[in-house]
Amino acid sequence: MKNLIGIDTNKAEELSKNLNQLLADYQLFYQNLRGLHWNIKGKEFFELHLKFEEFYDDAVIKVDEIAERILTLEGEPLHTFTDYLNTSNIKEVKSITNGMEGVTIVVENFSILIAKERGILDLASEANDEGTVSLMSDYISETEKTLWMLNSYLQ
């Protein structure tokens, strides 16, 4: 049986489950970035304050895109902090003021996100779900470049 957009309903359900995990990861990532943006101190303050804001502005857009993709697949996006905390592979961080530590956390969080995105890309390819494939491909390309840049910053 196929859903409204022509995806096998069982595959769409599996994709929605995985996209909900990614949604939860992005919600925790977003909140981590907000905390880093607010609390960063030291000589890297100005550049990292702006960079963390750039990252959380992007993350909030992705949160909406992921939730809408889940709805397109006829799933229900997670929408409570309890669900996010219970589902996310990204863990919340608190009171980080050191810039290099903050960037290291962002790299670790991006690494979790890209691994999940690659898994969803594989599932979406198998399901012939071009919409999700396209979304994940875009996210992966962007994250790869960002990880390269952040890793260069940490050198």
pLDDT at 115: 98
pLDDT tier, 148 (very low <50, low <70, confident <90, very high otherwise): very high
pLDDT in tens, 16-32: 999 999 999 999 999 99
Identify the pLDDT of residue 53: 98
Say if residues 136 and 124 touch (Cβ distance below 8 Å). Answer: yes
What CATH code would you report for 9-154? 1.20.1260.10
Largest CA distance in the chain: 58
Q: What angle do CA 50, 52, 54 make, to 5 degrees?
A: 70
Q: Would you list the domain boundaries of the chain?
A: 9-154
Question: 112: pLDDT confidence band, cut at 50, 70 and 90?
Answer: very high
Please give the average per-residue pLDDT across 93-113, as a whole number. 98
pLDDT score at 62: 98
The mean of the pLDDT values for the chain is: 98
For residues 25-46, give the mean pLDDT: 98
What number is the average pLDDT over the span 12-17? 98
Q: In the prediction, which pLDDT does 42 show? A: 97
Three-state DSSP state, 119: helix
Q: What does the pLDDT read at residue 138?
A: 98
Identify the DSSP state of 91. Answer: P
> pTM above 0.85?
yes
